[in-house]
Amino acid sequence: MLRRSNFSSLNGYIRHFKNCCDGLATIGKSIDDKSKVSWLLNGLGAQYEAFTTPMLKLPTPSYVDVVMGLIESQNLNGFIDATWPKPSKTISSPNGTDTSGTKETPNLEYQYWKRSDRLLRGWITRTLTEEVLSLVVGLKTSHEV
């Protein structure tokens, strides 16, 4: 059985799971959403038990509900609904050595935001079918996707 513990990240587990499902669909062995959800959740392991136990009770949630639940469990939903806005790339600070009187330094908050948004965008795009994926090519942020 495919297990989350065999992967270094949740993203890696979800990506591999989706690739397996896509591969089966390619050879004409599609898996229904109910089975996908059950297998995905059961493979997460004890670390996610507080999340998976209620999700596995009837009625079975949709695949989108499961993915959004995982996003929310990692406190990344602010990227989706834009309540965690993109910070500026640099921070201006007073500096008397240049002609403008300010110094631009990299904003660490922006770097964290960008890394987290790219991770989330990857999670989302890895759950999309090829048809839907073609509609989001070129979108830059998880909110846009």
Q: Where are the domains of the chain?
A: 1-74, 75-145
Which residues share a beta bridge with 93?
103
Does pLDDT of 58 surpass 70? no
The radius of gyration of the chain's CA atoms, rounded to the nearest angstrom, is: 20
Any residues with CB less than 8 A from the CB of 84 and at least 6 apart, and which? 78, 113
pLDDT category of residue 107 using cuts at 50, 70 and 90 = very high
Averaged pLDDT, 63-81: 85
- Residue 1 banded pLDDT, cuts 50, 70, 90: low
Cβ count near 97 (within 10 Å): 6
CB 11 within 8 A of CB 123: yes
Which pair of tokens denotes residue 15?
């990506």
Task: List phi, psi (to 5°) of 129.
Answer: -75, 165
Top mean-pLDDT range of 37-41, 65-69, 98-102, 105-109: 105-109
**Residue 87 pLDDT:** 93
Rounded CA separation 4/43 (Å): 6
Checking if the pLDDT of 122 tops 60, the result is: yes
Average pLDDT over residues 103-128: 89
Q: What percent of the chain has pLDDT over 90?
A: 16
111 versus 34: the higher-pLDDT residue is: 111
Which long-range contacts link 91-100 to residues 24+ away (Cβ below 8 Å)? none
